[in-house]
Every structure is written in structure tokens, then in C-alpha cells.
Structure 1
Amino acid sequence: MKGLFKRLLNVKGMVVEDVSVDDSPLRPAPVLVVRVRRRKGALRCSRCGRKCPKYDDGGGERRWRHQDFGRYGVELMGLAPRVACAEHGVAVAQVPWAEPGSRFTRDFEMERAWLTAVASRKTVGGFLRIAWRTAGDIARRVATRLGSSMPCMFDGLTA
């Protein structure tokens, strides 16, 4: 079953440890919580990608929102240890599913950036269950990561 979730999540360099459903009354819809960890191997600085020694466990578990599966939201949950980088000092270790500082997976961000470019605000807000401003910030981050001229397309998103 864990292998199936790994394939569905489309993330290389990750091990699925556990999957559960959070059906708390505090949430508007059930959420699949997928506990993950990076594969064994050297930790890398999230800023420069260089191999670095582990500094500490980084203060516990973090969550990253992933693409929804039908009516279920999906969150990846795992540790994000910190490393001691010679160039950047203490920094969060790179994870294979998300960009540094992001609360979203790369797949979530790519899907959101595309939808923001082709759909109305109402569609984006309803379908993605995120605020328009958040969608615009994601689109800008993806455009910057891709090194394209896309940011000009999203100039009016946060207005």
C-alpha cells in the first residue's frame, strides 16, 4: 500500500512510512496525512544543494500541502532537519518534494501556477481552496524557479 501512495504522490527520493485520514470536525473536509521521510543518504543545504553535516532535527515535524485526491486534501508530514552549511550557516535540509521555505509540494505549486494563468479568480479559489493572493504568490515563485518571463503574466494577481 505504501508503494501505491509513493507512486500516486509522484515524488522521487521519498519513503512513505504511514498513511492516515484526519477527519477532524475542525477541518472542512477529510485530509489524507502521508508521513514521509527522505531516503537515506547525505543531507544537502536547501540553498546551495551541497552535502552538509546534520546540525539538528529542526524542531519537529512539518506539513506540506499536496495535490488533492478527489474529495480528500493531502498533506505530507515529515521531519525537516537542519544542516551546518559552510556557506550559509545553519539551514533547513533540502527535501525532494518541496522548495525551501514553501508550505506546498512542487506538484501542488506547478498545478496552481498553471490554473492561475488559465482560470478565473472564482474558479481558482473554489477549486484550489486557497486565497487568490496565495495562488498569485505561488505562481510568481514557480515562474522565478523556472527562470521564465511568466511573472509579468501574474502582476495583477494580488490586487
Structure 2
Amino acid sequence: MARFELNGKEVTVDVPDDTPLLWVLRDELKMTGTKFGCGVAQCGACTVMLDGMTRRSCVTPIGTIDGSSVTTIEGIDGPEAQAVQAAWENLDVPQCGWCQSGQVMSATALLLEIPKPSDEDIDNAMAGNICRCATYVRIRKAIHDAADTLEG
């Protein structure tokens, strides 16, 4: 049994300790915004925030997060998240959209850590997020636009 905070609400799940967080989110808690991509932490589609840091939920056993705080795409909030989401929409970043929840989570985490990231900062922070549609140029532009918006 694992107890943790999910998007600001306490939850308890009764699943085997080795069950990946991704499947608990999607199958048990019906939070389907976090996507399955590769299952081996290489693509970033399953990115969530665990205690404020990005984490690949496909390889995070539920037994390791007891007492932690998990934020999914459904619960991300705040100025950075809003700026990223607005920039994504304004620049039509997504094509198929499969990777976008993970992209938005990683971009938001970046802006929380580095409010005015360089291209190198963006490339490093987003390197673990793969986009099959190759919208990387728009993703980088959207992150810069979101950072500019936050500066006012």
C-alpha cells in the first residue's frame, strides 16, 4: 500500500510495490494525461514531477514514493506552467501530441530552475524528451517565449 500526494490531494493505492507509477496513475487513478512511450525512461512521455523534480514514471516503482508529492500534467499550475502552456498553444507546438505532456512538464521544471534559459540550458533540460514529429525548434522557441512572458 502506498500513500502519496497527487496534484495536491492525498491518495492511497493498494498495488504491488514494484508497480510502475505510470500504471498506477493511468490505470488505478485514471490520470491519463501522462503517456506511455517506451517503458525504459528514454522518451520522456511519462514525465511527472516527484517532490518538485522531473521523474520518469514508467520506471518509478510505486513502493519508492510513499509520502512523496506527485504532480502530473493534470495538476501542474503556477506562472511557469501557465506561460509554457500558453506558448505551446500560441506557437502550435504539438503535432501528434503524444509526447507533449512530458515536454510541458520538463519545460516547466526548467523554468522553475532557470528563469531565463539559454539554448544550451534548454537542450540539456529537454534532451530526455523525444518528439516523433520533430517539433524541437518550436519547443525551444516556446520555452524562450514562456521565459520572456514571465519576465513581464
TM range (shorter): 0.3 to 0.5
Find the structure with the greater CA-based Rg: 1
Which of the two has greater helix per residue? 2
